[in-house]
Structure 1
Amino acid sequence: MTSIMTNNSAIGALATLRSINDSLDKTQNAISSGYKVKDSSDNAAYWSIATTMRSDSKAMSAVQDALGMGSAKTDTAYTGMNAAIDVVSTIKSKLVAAREPGVDKDKINKELTELKNQLGSIAKSSSFNGENWLYDNSNTAGTTQEMVGSFVRGNDGNVSVKTITFDTSKSMLINDKAAAGGLLTAGTTATYASGTTTTTGTYYLVKSTAGSGTGTEISLSSTTTSATIDGMVASVDKMLSNMTDAAATIGATKSRIDTQSNFAKNLMDTIQVGVGKLVDADMNEESTKLKALQTQQQLGIQALSIANSSSQNILSLFR
């Protein structure tokens, strides 16, 4: 049936053209924005996942910054500890030299005094952002320092921030208020040979501001006996061993922080790639689709024009 009121062909052609135009709009938006899923209306599931993972990636970026701060702290402490080990090693060699008969012990003691002052300078200056793992001036024997280590999202969707800890009581060299809290201010007991037997001696290297550590301060005078120097050498050697252990612990903490920082960076890259696979537009595919839709649009307009002209043909029946 032919009707001048209802043009079924034109209605069908118009519906087809509208569908083509809708697809063309989506393709053009994908090309201009670079996303096939830009809003939740495009794909609610993929958009939700991408939004969550982008938020987590930003959190991990903050974690990486915090790891950089933690790395700087460990670098500072490690550098200071190594410098202090060198100075204490020099003090040990000076004490061994003082064991030689006839040496001027008073002059060697002046050198020891300057080396001790250098140790104080190293410990106090090994500070980063107000934190010092080698020097303290409080009544506590060190504290546990926490550094942000990771951002974790569990299988249940709950998130948490994990930390890397370091106990500064293991690395504190000088404590000016609590002498027992410093490796150099606390008394160190060592066993050493005394004739055909062994004996023990307790000595401390640096005198704290608030008071003395346990035992006797390592200091020389013209009357210092060889046996006393032997005890000092043994105590300093044990201090060096403790400082070496502390440096190893700091180094292990630094290594863990660096490893975690590299992992966080690689994880952020992986998340970015994963999110891209969900929401990024394939430009090769979209450009091919654009060409096809533009051709379909032209054909649809032509079909609609033909459908609209059919009603005009009815006029010829009345001539």
Structure 2
Amino acid sequence: MTSILTNVAAMAALSTLRSISSGMEETQARVSSGMRVGSASDNAAYWSIATTMRSDNMALSSVQDALGLGAAKVDTAYAGMDSAIEVVKEIKAKLVAATEDGVDKTKIQEEIDQLKDQLTSIASAASFSGENWLQADASGAVTKSVVASFVRADDGSVSVKKVDYPLNTNNVLFDTSGGDLGILDKTYDVSAKSVTLSVNTDGVSEEVTVEAFTVDELIALNATFTTNTVGATTTQLADAGGVFYVKVDDNNWVQAVDVTGTGQEAVHDEAGVYYGVDTANAPPAAVAAPSSIANINITGLTPAQLDALISGVDEALTDMTSAAADLGSMGMRIEMQEEFVAKLTDSIDSGVGRLVDADMNEESTRLKALQTQQQLAIQSLSIANSSSEVILSLFR
């Protein structure tokens, strides 16, 4: 049936054209934006995930900035500590030189004064962004933190992880609290070297701590050394004017006594006389160094006081070296975290892209096809609309 009121062919062609136009709008939006999912209406699940991960990436970008700031603070503190170590080494060398007979201690003290001023300058200058980790409150009340990461847990909760660096008597050079607790302004208690050994007596082992000596100290006592080898075991004995010492490890000797017939396991056999550890030779009590490094004044010091001061400086060097190692480890961790955050950011960007980015090759092909379909649909609609004109010929 042919009707002038209802053109079914035109209606069908118009519906097809509308569908093609809608598809073209969608495809053109993807081509122009480069996104397959640009709003929640495109794909609510993917859009929600992508929005959340983009937010996390912005937080990670802030973490990267914070890591850079933290790395600068750690590097500044490490540079200052490393420079201070070199200066304290020089001070130790000056003190050793002062032990020689006939040296002018006044001249050496003048050099030490210059080195002390340099330490003060280093500690004051080791500041970044208003923070100084070398010249601070060393009472243990201050902890410095460096942002390390932004974490989203499985339950959706978020948190910021930090690396803590507590400032205390073991890593602060100068104590600003006035308590003289810093490495350079505190007085060290100097104790004799000791070693803990397991001594076997009648089959029963007991841990004992005795005074330890170096081979240089024994040589200074004009000791004579003998070696005895039994099977695969070699032991050494030193005789310093009738006082005997046995070697217990690569670095330490301890005072020895004749343990023949006592039940104590011998450490050295010398011509049928068995020597073991003198368990009664406990380390002497600790004594305080004459002064801190910041207040060194060697004029008028006795040789014993000078030796104690050198030992105190050596202990300070040990603390400074340990603090520098901690700062170096912290700097390495921050550097590794920076690399990880950079890779994590790239991975998140890549993952979000897989969810929402448009495949431009596919979209361009689809757009070309839709343009062709649109032209055909327009032509089809034109043909359908012209069919009503045929009816006029029936009335001519």
Equivalent in the alignment of 2:123: 123
TM-score by length of 1: 0.91
Q: Is the 8 Å Cα contact of residues 141 and 178 (structure 1) preserved in structure 2?
A: no
User: Partners in 1 of 2:76 and 2:93 — Cα distance?
Assistant: 26
User: Partners in 1 of 2:132 and 2:146 — Cα distance?
Assistant: 14
Q: Is the 8 Å Cα contact of residues 173 and 183 (structure 1) preserved in structure 2?
A: yes
Shift of residue 139, structure 1, vs aligned partner: 7.8
Q: Does 1:227 align with 2:304?
A: yes
Q: Note the 1:31-110 alignment, pairs <5 A.
A: 31-110=31-110
Equivalent in the alignment of 1:218: 296
Gaps of 5+ in 2: 193-212, 222-242, 244-280
User: Partners in 2 of 1:112 and 1:262 — Cα distance?
Assistant: 43
Cα 1:139–1:290 shift into 2, 3 Å: closer
Give the counterpart letter for 1:14 in structure 2.
Answer: L
User: Partners in 2 of 1:61 and 1:79 — Cα distance?
Assistant: 27
Equivalent in the alignment of 2:253: none
Give the counterpart letter for 2:310 in structure 1.
Answer: V
Give the counterpart letter for 1:66 in structure 2.
Answer: A
Tell me which structure has the larger Cα radius of gyration. 2
Gaps of 5+ in 1: 208-216
Equivalent in the alignment of 1:30: 30
Q: Is the 8 Å Cα contact of residues 142 and 181 (structure 1) preserved in structure 2?
A: no
Give the counterpart letter for 2:288 in structure 1.
Answer: T
Equivalent in the alignment of 1:201: 287
User: Partners in 2 of 1:139 and 1:132 — Cα distance?
Assistant: 12
Shift of residue 176, structure 1, vs aligned partner: 4.2
SS at structure 2 position matched to 1:310: helix
Cα 1:29–1:176 shift into 2, 3 Å: closer
Q: Deviations over 1:284-319 (max 9, x none)?
A: 111111110000001101111111111211222333
Q: Deviations over 1:178-228 (max 9, x none)?
A: 334201111212234898997543234344xxxxxxxxx53211x322222
Equivalent in the alignment of 1:156: 155
Shift of residue 157, structure 1, vs aligned partner: 1.3
Of stretches 150-159 and 72-81 in structure 1, the one that deviates more from structure 2 is 150-159
Shift of residue 35, structure 1, vs aligned partner: 1.2
User: Partners in 2 of 1:18 and 1:92 — Cα distance?
Assistant: 91
User: Partners in 2 of 1:139 and 1:153 — Cα distance?
Assistant: 35
Q: Is the 8 Å Cα contact of residues 171 and 243 (structure 1) preserved in structure 2?
A: yes
Give the counterpart letter for 1:164 in structure 2.
Answer: V
SS at structure 2 position matched to 1:4: coil
- Equivalent residue pairs, number: 308
Q: Deviations over 1:67-118 (max 9, x none)?
A: 1110010000000000000000000000111111111111101111111111
Q: Is the 8 Å Cα contact of residues 174 and 206 (structure 1) preserved in structure 2?
A: no
TM-score by length of 2: 0.74
Q: Does 1:295 align with 2:372?
A: yes
Q: Deviations over 1:260-283 (max 9, x none)?
A: 111111111111111111111111
Give the counterpart letter for 2:144 in structure 1.
Answer: Q
Q: Answer 1 or 2: which has greater helix percent.
A: 1
User: Partners in 1 of 2:176 and 2:66 — Cα distance?
Assistant: 30
Equivalent in the alignment of 1:281: 358
Cα 1:107–1:141 shift into 2, 3 Å: farther
User: Partners in 2 of 1:133 and 1:139 — Cα distance?
Assistant: 10
Give the counterpart letter for 1:188 in structure 2.
Answer: Y
